[in-house]
Amino acid sequence: MTAIDDALADALGRLRELDLGDTFEPRAAEATVLSGLHALVVPESVGGLGARMAEAAQALMAVGAVDGATALGFAMQVHVVGALVDSVAVPVGLRDRVYRAIVVDGALVNNAATEEGGGSPARGAVPGTTAVAEADGTWRLTGEKTWTTWLPNLSHVFVTARVADADPAEVGVWLVDLAADGVGRHPGFEAMGMRGSASGRLVLDGVRVPADALLARRRVDEPEPRGPAPGAWFGIAIAATYLGVGEGARDAVARWARDRRPGDGSSSVADVPSVQLRLGRADADLRAARIVILDVARRWDEATAGDDAAGLAAAAADVPFAKLVATRAAVAATDEALRIAGGPGFLAGSLERAFRDARAGLINPPLEDVAMTGFGRAVFERVGPGAG
């Protein structure tokens, strides 16, 4: 077994010992740190486990099969660090500081971009949170962020804010130590799924950050200076998380059907042909999605290793497709699981929770309508201009 295998097995063992459900369990986040899995994507050269995208995706699938909310929180750590590893134009000192905080201090990190009423960052929403430049080179951040997953256990966040008084408008991303003065952590709201993820509200009241905490800055009409890595890592991490939820529901209902022997006990639910059909249909969707996710992730890894810009662009272009098929497979599989289990599946428990958790993937970017529109445009580009 590799160091990654050992850390994953340790983390999964710790998670299975917890009574995980719809309330946040801080020990779930702690399990990733105690096992060392929190350093999954940090390079080996600085003390991490050195996982690449494909290995990280497989780890997230495994965690998602045990508990979706924990996998979602851990996915934030994975995609943020993965983007730091693979992005261009990232300040070396800032990158190394985050690595060191994770390896030495057990830091847990996330991005904080979404705001109440502000629209989706994935659709280009300009944040209301402001960053004011001080005369001494520091910045002061003020605003409120929503959907900040694992907020109670986070030590750092990368906050997206607009640069005050900039004309044309500019946005930037700053690393914020959540132990700083002016930081407030508040509960979120009762969502349909992923309730145990503690996706809360982060309030920043004139929080001072040093000049070297700036990760990236651009005009709102300019492309992301870090390249495709942030979007690629986020999309694959989300896809793997929700696929794991679907795979966990498939396996759980299969075990239930195998052990459930109604009537005289001469046969089990697993012997019913319609149950086998439903389970097979769910399995086919999930296996197809797993193949797609890992194919895209491996192509990304190969292109990164070969410094192949065209390969990176091609892999990044397929990330929305991977996320789409993964969430669709998870939604379909959890639906089939409830149909197989019948009444018992609708009682509060792992199958019912997986049914709700899988549907949270529908609101995570890349969003389905955006992805489908992009696919359609790509088809028109391939067939070329029309006659006349």
Nearest Cα to Cα of residue 244 among 8, 72, 61, 76: 61
Instruction: Measure the CA–CA gap between 6 and 20, rounded to whole angstroms.
Output: 22
pLDDT greater than 80 at residue 333:
yes
Q: What is the Cβ-side half-sphere exposure of residue 31, based on CA atoms within 13 angstroms?
A: 23
More confident call, 346 vs 336: 336
What string of DSSP letters covers 79-105?
A: HHHHHHHH-SS--HHHHHHHHHHHHHH
* Dihedral over Cα of 20, 324, 303, 88: its sign: negative
Cβ atoms within 10 Å, residue 289: 28
Res 7: pLDDT: 98
Average pLDDT over residues 7-34: 97
213 contacts 88 by C-beta, under 8 angstroms: no
pLDDT of 146 > 90? The answer is: yes
Q: Which tokens go with 304?
A: 């990164």
Residue 117: per-residue pLDDT: 78
Reply yes or no on whether the pLDDT at 197 is more than 90. Answer: yes
What is the identity of the amino acid at 13?
G
pLDDT range class, residue 340, cuts 50, 70, 90: very high
Please state the rounded mean pLDDT for residues 41-65.
Answer: 98
Which is more confidently placed, 55 or 126? 55
> pTM above the 0.85 mark?
yes
pLDDT of residue 290: 98
Q: Is the pLDDT of residue 388 over 70?
A: no
CB 154, CB 178: distance < 8 Å: yes
Mean pLDDT of the chain: 96
Question: Tell me, what's the pLDDT at 47?
Answer: 98
Place of tokens 């998380």: 241
pLDDT of residue 243: 98
Mean pLDDT of 211-219: 97
- Tokens read off for 153: 């256990």
CA quadruple 36, 38, 44, 50: dihedral sign: positive
Whole-number pLDDT of residue 251: 98
Q: pLDDT over 90 for what percent of the chain? A: 92
Q: What is the dihedral of CA 46, 36, 204, 92, to 10 degrees?
A: 10
pLDDT at 119: 64
> For residue 45, what is the DSSP state?
G
Mean pLDDT of 250-260: 97
Give the pLDDT band (50/70/90) at residue 263.
confident
For residue 120, what pLDDT band results from cuts at 50, 70 and 90? low
Residue 123: predicted pLDDT: 65
